[in-house]
Structure 1
Amino acid sequence: MQHTSPRRRLAGAAALVLSAALALTACGSSGGQGADGKAAVSQQGAGSPYQGTALARHFDKPDLVLSDTGGQPFDLRQRTAGRSVLLFFGYTSCPDVCPTTMGDIGVAMQKLSAEERKKIDVVFVSTDPDRDNPKVLRTWLDSFGSDFIGLTGDLAKVKAAALSLGIVVEDPVVNKDGTVTSSHGAQVLAFLPADDKAHVLYMSNTPTATFEHDMPLLAKGVAA
């Protein structure tokens, strides 16, 4: 399986050449292009205060309603409106990228004050809903952050929501040994409260220090 590649910082015209190569996947080898054939990353905004990659195209927050870890309906747009949001698609039995990414975010969140943490929603959407029921998802997420939001449900809805952000999610595959592989884009997208759009992207190899640097900015809703 293809997992990760070195994280690259993009700027200017070079981004237009490299953007397609930056659509990484976790636990699989699918591409990361949107429905229009363009990769989610196109260039890094000049002068951005964020160390994550500023997006030239600001993606709308997906219109997505799934079950939360309490088994209740959760409307992503409605429940996170006007808040900073980190959104990641993955699955709990992922052997590498998912726990690493969520762990890095969890460490960075712990560096914030209690008031700052209240201003950021970390949302994990399962790409393997048949196995990631609300209880499984809650137990797994608690290892990284007890206030992290977990969503699970209709895979078709999950795939459509991810694709709207330029992230490909494929149907899970059950391997001969009984393990499950779920190929999915490894990007984390940061939505800002001013317009509820994604402005910053983090690739799967983003160091913890980058999240630690950017979290206070997200808590304040600083423009990218």
Structure 2
Amino acid sequence: MSRLPSLPGLQGTPSRRSLLLGSLGGAAALLLTACGSSGSSGSSSSDGSPSGGEISPSMQGQSGPYQGVYLGRTFDKPAVTLTDTSGKPFDLVARTAGKAMLLYFGYTHCPDVCPTTMGDIAVAVSKLPKAQQSEIDVVFVTTDPARDTPAAIRSWLDAFNPAFIGLTGDIQTIIAAAKSVGVYVAAPVKGQEPVHGAQTLGYLPSDNKAHLLYTSGTTTAVFEHDVPLLIKGVRA
């Protein structure tokens, strides 16, 4: 598997501590992760299923030309204005309209899943022809805004790709934005690592909707295969 050298926040062999929330049979499963913590925990209902509107196996459909997991229903981009790494308001829907997009919620102090995911995406984007590299927005939304200042996010993302978009804001606004696209994010608890859904959502430029899901552990090769299709707007 291709990797960026010296991934920030990643030391030694990645140790993904994840809680399996469901099975897709032969397909990948949805993961909820507390990156680098001694254990994982998430909100669940009395029957043990995830609560808060997360993407569930029943929402996921069959594969097609993409190697990512098809969503049985599409998700609009979160209708939210956050703060970018220059400290300015960033209207997510307006600023990414008409472009392919990969959306991920995580935090810069994560020792394993978050930098590995950003690294794999960065390698895939770097393999595109130069003219195509600007045709996809990679958006990273922090789930730890108290520690992840705009400057800290910018420095972290620059190690992967300076064009990646980093966003922060009020944690409740971020939680609501994540919930709107089926991603679980919990408010950070002092002394514990943040808990967040480890999936990346893939949006087509033609309708600005998420059609694809990439779980934690998705390889660089999968992103290399799928990103050009997302840019071209190939339908699911």
User: TM-score range with shorter-chain normalisation?
Assistant: 0.7 to 0.9
1:45 aligns with 2:59: no
Matches of 1:204 and 1:37, distance apart in 2: 15
Q: Which residue of 2 aligns with 1:207?
A: 219
Structure 2 CA distance, aligned partners of 1:67 and 1:5?
Answer: 30
Q: How many residues align?
A: 212
CA distance in 2, matches of 1:111, 1:121: 15
Q: Is the 8 A contact 1:9 1:53 kept in 2?
A: no
Q: Is 2:21 the partner of 1:4?
A: no
Identity %: 53
Alignment of 1:39-188 (within 5 A): 39=56, 42-46=59-63, 48-175=64-191, 181-188=193-200
Distance across 2 between alignment mates of 1:130 and 1:142: 20
1:22 has 2:30 as partner:
yes
Structure 1, unaligned runs of 5 or more:
none
Shift of 1:43: 2.6
TM-superposed CA distance for 1:98, in Å, is 0.3
Q: CA deviation at 1:45?
A: 2.9
RMSD (CA atoms) = 2.5
- Rounded to whole Å, the distance in 2 between the matches of 1:221 and 1:37 is 25
Residues 34 and 81 from structure 1, CA distance in 2 versus in 1: closer, same or farther, beyond 3 angstroms? farther
User: The residue matched to 1:137 in structure 2 has which SS?
Assistant: helix
The amino acid of 1:208's aligned partner reads T
Normalising by structure 2, what TM-score?
A: 0.82
Report the counterpart of residue 193 of structure 1 in structure 2.
205
Q: Which amino acid in structure 1 is aligned with residue 184 of structure 2?
A: V
Give the TM-score normalised by structure 1. 0.86
Mark the runs of 5 or more structure 2 residues left unpaired by the alignment.
1-14, 45-49
In 1, the alpha carbon distance for the partners of 2:133 and 2:233 equals: 12
Q: Give 3-state SS (helix, strand or coil) of 2:59's partner.
A: coil
Distance 1:72 1:188 in 2: 24
Say which SS state the counterpart of residue 65 (structure 2) adopts. Answer: coil
